[in-house]
Amino acid sequence: MNIVYSLNPGDKGNFAIFDIVGKKLAYYELSSDKKMMTISDINLENGIYFYNVTSENKNVVTGRFVVIK
C-alpha cells in the first residue's frame, strides 16, 4: 500500500490504521523530507479500515478504506 502525503517543511507527522472497532493496527511516523511511504509490513484481511494522519499533534485528516482481496 502506498501513502502519498505532504507536510510543511520541518513538520513531523503520524499515520495510524484502525479496524472497524477502533483497535490500532499500525502506526507509522511521517517526515516532511519524503512525500510517499510504502506500507508492506501489515497484512490486512478483507474489511473496512480507518486511518488518521496527525501533524504537530493536530488531526490533519481522517478517512477510511476498504480491503478486498
Q: What is the pTM of this model?
A: 0.84
Domains of the chain: 2-67 (2.60.40)
Q: What is the rounded CA–CA span in Å between residue 46 and residue 17?
A: 14
In this predicted structure, what is the pLDDT of residue 48? Answer: 96
In this predicted structure, what is the pLDDT of residue 68? Answer: 92
pLDDT, averaged per 10 consecutive residues of the chain (69 residues), comes to 85 94 95 86 91 87 92
**Is 13 exposed, middle or buried (CB count within 10 Å of its CB: 0-12, 13-18, 19+)?**
buried
Chain-centroid distance, C-alpha 42: 12
Lookup: cell for 1: 500500500
How crowded is residue 50: how many other Cβ atoms within 10 Å of its Cβ?
A: 16
Lookup: cell for 22: 477502533
In this predicted structure, what is the pLDDT of residue 45? Answer: 93
